[in-house]
Amino acid sequence: MTRKRAVRSTAGILGAGILACAACCAGPLLAFVGSLGAASLLGAYWVPALLAVTVAAGIILTVLLIRRRRAKACRLPASRVDVSIQPRAQDDSPVLSGSRPSAP
């Protein structure tokens, strides 16, 4: 019977150790598993929101670049430019719109 008592004693000590470990580590393990769930929930909402912000930034950047290029194309010189107009030469023959030269 001493052997039976020794087995019971060892089983009791192991059982108490397992119970103590479960009581002590259950909280942190449950918190870790819960944080994984919370992280996946946060990721489920964060990734689409991040995508929406990225698309909006891309649209704004595209619009600004197009406006900047158009502004460069329409830029006037910094100083005045004088344009001289030459007088037309006097010609005695009248020019009629749409007229064709006459045949000889």
Residue with tokens 């910094």: 78
State both tokens at 8.
Answer: 């019971």
State both tokens at 39.
Answer: 């992280």
DSSP 104: -
**Where does the pLDDT of residue 83 fall: very low under 50, low under 70, confident under 90, or very high at 90 and above?**
confident
77 vs 104, which has greater pLDDT?
77
pLDDT for the residue numbered 95: 58
First-to-final CA distance of the chain: 147
pLDDT for the residue numbered 94: 59
The pTM score is: 0.37
Dist CA 47 CA 40 (whole Å): 10
Per residue in 51-67, pLDDT tens?
Answer: 898 999 999 999 998 88
pLDDT at residue 35 is higher than 90: no
